[in-house]
Amino acid sequence: MDDNVIDLKKKQEAKEAAVRNEAAQLPEDDFEAHAAPAAFSPEEDTNDGIEWEADEYAKTSKSGYWYGGLASVAFLLLAVGIVARSYFFIVFVVLAAVLLIYYAKRLPKRIVFSVGREGVSAGAKKYPYQNLKSFWIFVRDGEADLSLETKSSFNPMVLIPLEGVSPNDVREVLLENIEEVEHIEGLFDRIMRVMSI
């Protein structure tokens, strides 16, 4: 009686194994159809531009003197606001102190920057060449920053760190698309750099 029993489970497993074997074997003449497309060749990608990763700003460690100095200035300004009975000024000083402490303690994010045929990108932000007026590369203390002058009145200057990339290579790509004009470091950027923020 055992001879007449058909094991359907074994038959189904045999069929599935046969299908897997056929799918795994490609004919030799079909190999070209499955080759990687030529558009993704590394030679072509290298001509598109330069890409690098860097911190959004240089992080410096703050000492207790830095925080003590900030607290002293904040209390002095609060006293001036109380004497002048300017509640708006008091609120402004408190908010400014809280923001300074927040940014002093915050760790910078790693951002992917690129300079290419269409423009400059900093993470998700894109700066097409038609929206840029000029560029300049600042080199200070062995560190380089790319300064972009935009056509936007809200954010006319953009500063991008050139960490781990040659400033000359970036300059060559940019010269093909926009003008190089010497920029003056903004007062806000200078204050932030002096305060190590």
Q: Which fold has domain 51-194?
A: PH-domain like (2.30.29)
Cα(49)–Cα(113) distance, integer angstroms: 11
Listing from the earlier edge strand, what are the strands of the sheet with 110-116? 49-55, 110-116, 119-122, 125-128
pTM summary value? 0.57
Domain ranges of the chain: 51-194
Q: Tens place of pLDDT for every residue, the chain, 197 residues?
A: 455 555 555 556 666 666 555 554 544 444 444 444 333 333 333 456 899 988 877 677 778 888 888 899 999 999 999 999 999 999 999 999 999 888 888 887 888 999 998 899 988 899 999 999 999 998 887 788 888 999 888 878 888 888 889 899 999 999 999 999 888 876 766 666 655 55
